[in-house]
């Protein structure tokens, strides 16, 4: 969001999860996850997260000394999910005197749009913020128009694979705007753990695998061996679904194409069809 607002040169520090756009890579890292997901299975990551939450232990380390040296005027954080990123409370002891802390905590797609405006106002880039919002709204409207009148597809979006987590917060709304019906997730509510037995009993027509923090390739790798009776596709959850940022609008475009390829154009985002549906199935 900061980059799209034209403030990339003002960004003095990032988290180790900041990977896009490419210009943020190499900037000083002020916070990092204690868990190294690349070294653990999905089930092991889930167990480690649950243990940390049970013990009231933070999943992140914050470099207070580095933050002090960087002397930021504004620190942007979130309090929506303690698993996904450093919270405002965790930054309290690392906040330099005089620095403003702005917490962005959207729970819906419209909330994400408003958070763009909030940040734009905070960094003095109101016009750029309105341009970003207009672009998001245009993509959403074009997608909704493309799938208008098309029968809705029953969809399960997996925000985690083992155990499976249903979609939460803005994702059910993304599915709705793309012409689908989320069989388990509820808009504005947190994602929650379920079982594949419960999911399949709801007879989804499409399963989208977009585990939080992973791209399409890693999602596909972690889904190896997962036998599902309906079309299943791995997507870049990290880039277009999990993060409350402007690229969610592109995620809606992709969802529409995955569900209704004859009605909605392919936005060209990564997608890996699994199992016997290794090629996009005819619909």
pLDDT the model gives residue 282:
46
149 vs 140: CA distance, rounded Å: 16
Note the pLDDT of residue 61.
82
**Separation of alpha carbons 206 and 232, rounded Å:** 6
Residue-wise pLDDT tens digits, 180-236 = 999 999 999 999 999 999 999 999 999 999 999 899 999 999 998 898 999 999 999
Q: Which H helix or E strand runs over 102? A: strand 100-103
Domains in the chain with CATH codes: 8-105 (no CATH), 128-277 (3.40.50.1980)
Distance separating alpha carbons of residues 178 and 112, to the nearest angstrom: 17
Helices (DSSP H) in the chain: which residue ranges? Answer: 42-54, 64-70, 88-91, 109-122, 126-147, 171-177, 196-201, 216-222, 237-240, 248-259
pTM: 0.90
Span 64-115, pLDDT tens digits? 899 999 999 999 988 776 556 565 566 666 666 678 889 899 999 999 999 9
């Amino acid at each position: 969001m900061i980059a799209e607002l034209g403030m990339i040169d003002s960004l003095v520090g990032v988290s180790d999860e900041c990977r896009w756009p490419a210009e943020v890579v190499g900037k000083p890292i002020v916070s990092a996850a204690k868990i190294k997901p690349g070294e653990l299975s999905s089930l092991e990551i889930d167990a480690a997260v649950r243990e940390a939450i049970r013990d009231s232990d933070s999943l992140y380390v914050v470099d207070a000394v580095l933050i002090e040296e960087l002397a930021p005027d504004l620190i942007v954080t979130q309090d929506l999910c303690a698993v996904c990123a450093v919270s405002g409370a965790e930054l309290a002891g690392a906040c330099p005197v005089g620095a403003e802390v702005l917490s962005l905590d959207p729970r819906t797609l419209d909330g994400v749009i408003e958070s763009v405006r909030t940040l734009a106002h905070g960094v003095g880039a109101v016009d750029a913020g309105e341009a970003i919002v207009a672009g998001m709204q245009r993509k959403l409207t074009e997608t909704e128009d493309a799938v208008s009148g098309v029968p809705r597809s029953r969809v399960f979006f997996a925000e985690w694979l083992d155990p499976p987590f249903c979609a939460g917060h803005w994702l059910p709304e993304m599915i709705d705007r793309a012409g689908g019906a989320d069989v388990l997730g509820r808009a504005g509510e947190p994602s929650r753990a379920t079982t594949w037995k419960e999911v399949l009993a709801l007879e989804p027509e499409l399963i989208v695998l977009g585990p939080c923090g992973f791209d399409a390739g890693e999602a596909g790798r972690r889904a190896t061996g997962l036998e599902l009776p309906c079309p299943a596709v791995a997507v870049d959850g990290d880039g277009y679904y999990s993060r409350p940022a402007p690229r969610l609008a592109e995620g809606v475009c992709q969802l529409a194409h995955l569900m209704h390829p004859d009605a909605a154009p392919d936005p060209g985002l990564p997608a890996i069809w699994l199992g016997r549906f290794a090629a996009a199935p005819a619909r």
